[in-house]
Amino acid sequence: MFSEAGAVLIRPMRPGDWPEVRAIFTEGIGTGQATFEAAAPEWEQFDASRLPDHRFVAEASGLVLGWTAVSAVSSRPAYAGVVEHSVYVAGSARGRGVGGLLLKALAASTEDRGIWTIQSSIFPENQASIRLHQANGFTIVGRRERIARMISGPFAGQWRDTLLLERRSRKV
């Protein structure tokens, strides 16, 4: 699936994109506002834990500007249509609509494959991500207080809350 808006192309992620994808992931981890992860995984771990049909990058002038991917939330058949996603945009590309393009591509691909819910956990302090998600059909459905403790970075050792957001398909 390809979609263009201006000079930004959304396309399926390829293994060769991993160095740029990992750099963007690492940049997000460094902010302390994107994830509880302490480091980006190696390609093999990332590849094994994300569904292959729902991985996309945003590219402009041959550079990867952002990425999105999903993981199954459960192996139980009743939850086959529920995934958790990640979306990361390079600092240099934020505010250019890249995140919205990635979320639109993700919504289309998941709906085409019968997925009815995309969910995400976002730190309440990450207002830019919350606004991005709400603008793309996600709703805050709950708050998980002190759900986990930061391992590294500017908030190392601190317990953090997350907001649980979800996007329900209107098609599935």
The per-residue pLDDT for range 77-136, each reduced to its tens digit, is 999 999 999 999 999 999 999 999 999 999 999 999 999 999 999 999 999 999 999 999
pLDDT of residue 27: 97
Helices 98-112 and 127-135 pack at an angle, to 10 degrees, of: 50
Tens of pLDDT, residues 39-75: 999 999 999 999 999 999 999 999 999 999 999 999 9
pLDDT of residue 2: 38
Residues 110 and 118: beta-carbon distance below 8 Å: yes
Place of tokens 């002038």: 61
CA distance 137 to 86: 15
Residues 150 and 162: beta-carbon distance below 8 Å: no
Q: Which domains does the chain have, with CATH numbers?
A: 3-120 (3.40.630.30)
pLDDT of residue 1: 37
Residue type, 99: G
Tens of pLDDT, residues 124-162: 999 999 999 999 999 999 999 999 999 988 889 999 999
Of 92, 165, 152, the closest CA to residue 126 belongs to 165
Is the pTM above the cut of 0.85?
yes
pLDDT of residue 62: 94
The dihedral formed by the CA atoms of 133, 135, 140 and 146, expressed in degrees to the nearest 10: 40
Query: How many beta carbons lie within 10 A of that of residue 83, not counting itself?
Result: 24
H-type alpha helices, 38-118: 43-49, 98-112
The strands making up 82-89's β-sheet, listed across from edge to edge, are 3-5, 8-12, 56-60, 63-72, 82-89, 117-122, 159-168, 139-149
Q: Which two tokens stand for residue 12?
A: 């399926």
Q: Which neighbouring-strand residues pair with 88? A: 67
Q: Which neighbouring-strand residues pair with 68? A: 56, 87
Residues 133 and 84: beta-carbon distance below 8 Å: no
CA distance 39 to 152: 9
Q: What is the mean pLDDT of the chain?
A: 95
pLDDT of residue 4: 47
pLDDT of residue 171: 92
